[in-house]
Structure formats: C-alpha cells, structure tokens
A = this chain, B = another copy of it.
Amino acid sequence: MDAILQDCLDRLDRLDVHTMYGGDFFLTWEKSDEELAAVFAVADALRNLRERNRSTRIFDSGLGVSLFRDNSTRTRFSFASACNLLGLAVQDLDEGKSQIAHGETVRETANMISFMADVIGIRDDMYIGKGNRYMHEVVDAVTQGYRDGVLEQKPTLVNLQCDIDHPTQCMADMLHIIHHFGGVEHLRGKKIAMTWAYSPSYGKPLSVPQGVIGLMTRFGMDVVLAHPEGYEVMPEVEAVARHNAAKSGGTFAKTHSMDEAFQNADIVYPKSWAPFAAMEERTQRYGRGDTEGIRALEKRLLAQNARHKDWCCTEARMKTTKNGAALYLHCLPADISGVSCAEGEVEASVFDRYRDPLYKEASYKPYIIAAMIFLAKVKNPQATLRALEERGAPRWFQK
C-alpha cells in the first residue's frame, strides 16, 4: 500500500463519518470537524490514486448536473473534473436554453433533471438571501421526490458558491494551508488575515470572506477580518466565526486597518468584496425592478471603493508579515495593479512571486468537490478507496 494512501485511510479510520452518506454540502459550519477532516482525507486519497494512475471511477454511468447562475471558468472546470474523476457525465442546466425561462417551479425542474442525476452542483451567489435558499429548495424537492418513489435515489447537492459561503473554494484554500504548513496539527496559533482589498470592479460576492472566517476559525488559528468601515460581512457569519474560534482555542478579531491585519501574519488573503448592506439593498432593488436605483447604487459603491485604494497587498505590507514571507492566498482571478487594472488588490511583483502556490491552491478544488461527492455516495469510504487501489484499473492505459 502506498504510504500517502495508507495515511489517508488511517485518518479516515479515526473519524465517524457515517452521517455524510446520502447528505449534501451547503455550508462548512453545518459540518462537524470530523466531517471536514474526512473531506480532506478523501481529497488527498483521490489525488494520490489519480497521480499514481489508478482509476477512481465509482460510477460506470450517471449524471452530474450543473447549474451556474453566474459566469465561471474555474468552478465550472473543477466541477466537471470532479464528476469526470468519479465517472459521471456533466449535463449543464442552461436556463437560457431550457424551459425554466418559461416559468417552471423549482420543485418540478429539480425532479425532472434528477431521474439519473447522482449529483447537482449549483452556483448562485448574486443575491443576498436567495442562493442558499434556492439550493435548499432543490434539495427539499429531490428529497421529497425520492420519498415519493419518483426518484430512484436522492442526488447530492454540492454548493458551488452561494450568497453565504463558498465551501469548495474555502475547503480547497484550507487543504492548501494544511499541506503548506505540513499538517493540520501545525496551524495552532498561526495568524491569518482575511482582508478587504481595493478593486475597480463592483459588487463582488461576500461568500469568500465569509467562508474563510467561517472555516479558518476552526483550527485554532488567530483569524483577523480587516476591512474599511462600511464593508461589513453578514453578522450571522461573524457570530459563527466567534463561536468557532472560542471552541477551537483560536481567536477571531476585527480591524479597520490592513496594516494591523498584515502585521506578523502567517497567511494573508487580500480580496475585494461588496458591503453586505449594499448587497442587500441591491437584492431588494432588483426585486422591485428598480433599474435606476441599481445604477445609482453601483455608482455610489464604486465611489466608496475608490476612497480605499490604499487597501492593496503591497511589497511594503508583505514585509511586515511573519519573516516577510506570509503565504499569500487568493481565489483568483485577482485584480493585479498594472496588469489587469491600473490599481487593484495586489502589486504585480507580489502576485508574481506567489503564482505557483496560488495555482496549487486552485488545484485542490476538483479534489475537494470529488471528495464531497464521494462521501455522500459511498457508505464506507475507507473500504471503497482500498478497493479502488486493489482493483488497480489504470486511468491512462499504455504498454
């Protein structure tokens, strides 16, 4: 048995994850520590199997349905990769092409697309109070459909980004951190700064900063959330972060100073987002069809952003981090000063120096998604991973 794989199996042996079978993945803070640890262990195991050319197909056929309500390259490819890795074909539910546009109810559509669906992945992050709720409606519908004998099985939902959390991104970020520091046991007392940064674009979702403070507070780290006044995130998620920090023996602090956040940080995550209150306002204006109000709001937000152009991840600030060498994170694409915009979230030389680790950070996402699916679809993950190893079918056949 390969040593890395054996380690993953050993980790799984110590975890109680029977609760995940048949489940869904909405928010990280709805999952137990053991469940999150299981996702990391299975992600590592699947990657190990693939990199040693072992087939990880657990599905001979079956569909992974994707619904993207916002543009996406990397999440789309990550979901497609994860489905493919497990043997599922991706079928996009394109609302433009489909009869959803004709006023179908969520309940009906959810069942109609699920007769042979094993997984449904949804990205719906634009409107506060909508995305996560929509995902729950879909899951309620297919759960009912399964109970009523309409569906042979309940497909598993994977939240590919909602208005509250971006669990596949943050779990990938976290697995990157774990590997960077050589294990989850080395994270206690590490300082991570989740900080707002200036971007010339408007209305970026809150799900990443919220997901980060909701997740990273669970590992005994000192999590600092930094942003200018007026860029508050959802108060409920801050409450989650405080609760997590208390429980994990870490801390959760807030500041309005980027400098303070960077000071001696082990990890920095500088990224733009829109104020929660503004996003709420926008959602309400959209609901009322108030186009003029939305345009005015957008103008106001851009002007508000422009007052904080000094919130940039500069070389000077990086020097103030632990040994001047904090791990720089971003969900990508970043707004890079002088590259993708005149002034942005990060200086080009900082971004360039961290390009490799950033790409590696992103590389965990397909495996995180695959692990979420795997744990929802396989009753005994250790035994099944072991069986995949023993089956020994090559992913890529050659003599």
Contact = CB atoms under 8 A, between A and B. Distances in A.
A134 interface: no
A150 interface: yes
Nearest to A85: B61
A176 B62 CA distance: 23
A168 B89 CA distance: 22
Contacts of A145: 359
Instruction: Classify chain A: how many residues form its interface, as a range.
Output: 35 or more
B398 A112 contact: no
B90 A60 contact: no
A332 B108 contact: yes
Contacts of A68: 97
Interface in A103-124: 103-105, 108-109, 111-113, 115-116, 118
A135 to B, nearest CB: 18
Contact of A101 (B71, B81, B387): B71
Nearest to A101: B71
Nearest to A56: B61
Contacts of A112: 73-74, 77, 332, 359, 362
Given A73-B98, A76-B98, A149 B396 contact: no
A399 B377 contact: no
A396 B58 contact: yes
B93 A152 contact: no
B50 A152 contact: yes
Interface string A46-81: 000011000111111111010010011110111011
A157 to B, nearest CB: 17
Nearest to A382: B399
Nearest to A367: B115
A76 B150 CA distance: 19
B60 A393 contact: yes
A386 interface: yes
Interface in A349-383: 356, 359-360, 362-363, 366, 377-380, 383
Which residue, of A100, A105, A113, has the highest number of chain B Cβ atoms within 10 A? A113
A111 B361 CA distance: 12
Interface string A286-315: 000000000000000000000000000000
Contacts of A60: 55, 57, 393-397
Given A104-B333, A359-B111, A380 B399 contact: yes
A340 interface: yes
A61 B85 CA distance: 6
Nearest to A98: B73
A161 to B, nearest CB: 13
Nearest to A113: B77
A115 B356 contact: no
A30 interface: no
B104 A396 contact: no
Contacts of A63: 80-81, 84
Contact of A99 (B56, B80, B333, B386): B333
Contacts of A72: 97-99
A386 B397 CA distance: 12
28 contacts: A50-B116, A55-B61, A59-B395, A60-B396, A61-B85, A62-B84, A63-B84, A71-B99, A72-B98, A73-B93, A73-B98, A73-B104, A73-B113, A76-B98, A77-B91, A77-B112, A80-B89, A84-B89, A89-B90, A103-B333, A115-B363, A115-B366, A116-B366, A118-B396, A148-B359, A378-B398, A380-B398, A383-B398
Given A60-B393, A150-B360, 16 more contacts: A50-B152, A58-B397, A60-B394, A63-B80, A73-B98, A73-B99, A73-B112, A76-B97, A80-B89, A81-B116, A89-B89, A102-B333, A103-B333, A108-B332, A111-B359, A115-B362
